[in-house]
């Protein structure tokens, strides 16, 4: 009974803030739409038709959600260890660059599966290397990971910009040559209904990553130790867990997951690395992780939600400015941040009342 009550309370604490945020978004969105002289119902209908109303829109939402899932999962994993990884933007870019360089280095005729595996491994390794730096600095010297990861974004993005512009770019562009090996096929090649969308089979890789992270966090000793360090590092250290090693490993794994997001663009969409391709997906991953309550399943749901808003902004641009969507994204964050403490208080109060009633009846 106690376990059931605990799970119920946890589920309520996770879902109720999302419901509050959605209600606030609908109200604020209606007001903004009315301010532009349009009917809210027509705009919302257009948004849904342009996202989940046709195969192309669904493909675009899933494509964008694939990258956001990687960056959100990366941030969530670090937060589980008590670390705030704001460097997913740089780790995402490093992963995409590593995949592109590996693809360019592979000889022509390399078997497809081998080439894809090598490129994916390169993406994870490059993202992991960028993520491990703040982990090492935090563990060895006490440097705050927030400051270090922010600075790493500037360093990595500027370095990649220089390398591409000076060494690897196609003339008059800021992207590398097209890859001849390691590219991932589009879903549209198998399911023609998705024709025109950027959705590709990287989504399967990311789905496997979500399942693997969930298993790692909740079914392994290492995952338990990571969560223990995130909750109370001193107690975990007293229990025999190496906090320094856990921090380094968590940041390295977090960077590797963010780096996998670069595969979606480089190998699955464009077929080359392009400077600036991350486009804020790393920073939006922070929001995805927080809205998803740092749970792998919650991250997927949040990624789908924000991908829907992103694609929906393009769909409604004929009626209202697409910047309305950016405002609504901010409203979601504010609504959840402000509602979580009150929701948690009410849920715990209700749980206590239910326990009291149960005790009285027994």
Q: What is the mean pLDDT of residues 46-61?
A: 94
How far apart, in whole angstroms, are the C-alpha atoms of residue 42 and residue 315?
A: 12
Q: What is the mean pLDDT of residues 169-193?
A: 91
Nearest residue to 286 via CA among 247, 337, 235, 249:
337
Range in 167-181, 196-210, 226-240, 257-271 the model is least confident about: 167-181
State residue 1's pLDDT score.
41
Are 46 and 315 in contact, with CB atoms under 8 Å apart?
Answer: yes
pLDDT at 359: 62
Record the tokens describing residue 33, joined without a space: 């739409």
**3-class SS of residue 167:** helix
For residues 85-111, give the mean pLDDT: 94
Burial class (CB in 10 A: 0-12, 13-18, 19+), 285: buried
> So what's the pLDDT on residue 199?
97
pLDDT tops 90 at residue 333: no
Share of the chain above pLDDT 70, in %: 92
Q: What is the pLDDT of residue 341?
A: 74
- The pair of structure tokens assigned to 222 is 């290492």
**Structural tokens at position 317:** 């641009």
For the chain, the domains span 69-303
Mean pLDDT, rounded, of the chain: 90
At residue 139, the 3 state secondary structure works out as helix
Measuring CA to CA, which residue among 12, 57, 14, 27 is closest to residue 304? 57
**Per-residue pLDDT averaged across 313-337, rounded?**
84
Please name which of 147, 299, 144 lies closest in space to residue 217, comparing C-alpha atoms: 299
Q: Which residues pair with 186 in a beta bridge?
A: 200
């Amino acid at each position: 009974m106690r376990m059931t009550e605990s799970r119920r309370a946890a589920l309520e604490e996770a879902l109720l803030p999302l419901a509050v945020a959605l209600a606030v978004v609908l109200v604020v969105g209606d007001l903004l739409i009315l301010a532009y002289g349009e009917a809210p119902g027509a705009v919302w209908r257009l948004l849904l038709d342009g996202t989940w109303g046709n195969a192309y829109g669904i493909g675009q939402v899933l494509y964008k959600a694939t990258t956001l899932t990687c960056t959100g999962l990366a941030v969530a994993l670090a937060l589980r260890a008590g670390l705030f990884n704001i460097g997913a933007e740089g780790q995402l870019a490093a992963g995409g660059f590593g995949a592109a360089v590996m693809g360019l280095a592979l000889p022509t005729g390399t078997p497809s599966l081998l080439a894809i595996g090598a490129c994916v491994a390169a993406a994870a390794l490059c993202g992991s290397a960028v993520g491990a730096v703040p982990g090492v600095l935090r563990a060895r010297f006490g440097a705050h990971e927030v400051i270090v990861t922010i600075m790493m974004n500037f360093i990595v993005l500027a370095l990649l910009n220089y390398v591409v512009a000076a060494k690897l770019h196609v003339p008059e562009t800021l992207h590398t040559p097209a890859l001849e090996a390691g590219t991932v096929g589009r879903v549209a090649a198998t399911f023609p209904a998705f024709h025109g969308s950027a959705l590709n089979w990287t989504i399967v890789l990311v789905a496997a990553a979500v399942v693997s992270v969930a298993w790692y966090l909740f079914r392994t000793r290492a995952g338990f130790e990571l969560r223990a360090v995130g909750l109370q590092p001193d107690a975990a250290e007293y229990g025999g867990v190496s906090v320094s090693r856990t921090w380094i490993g968590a940041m390295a794994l977090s960077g590797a997951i963010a780096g996998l997001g670069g595969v979606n663009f480089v190998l699955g969409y464009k077929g080359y690395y392009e400077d600036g391709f991350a486009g804020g997906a790393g920073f939006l991953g922070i929001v995805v992780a927080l809205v998803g309550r740092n749970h792998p399943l919650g991250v997927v749901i949040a990624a789908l939600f924000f991908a829907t808003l992103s694609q929906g902004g393009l769909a409604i641009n004929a009626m209202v400015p697409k910047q309305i969507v950016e405002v609504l994204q901010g409203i979601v964050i504010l609504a959840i941040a402000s509602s979580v403490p009150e929701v948690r208080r009410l849920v715990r109060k209700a749980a206590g009342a239910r326990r009291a009633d149960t005790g009285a009846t027994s």
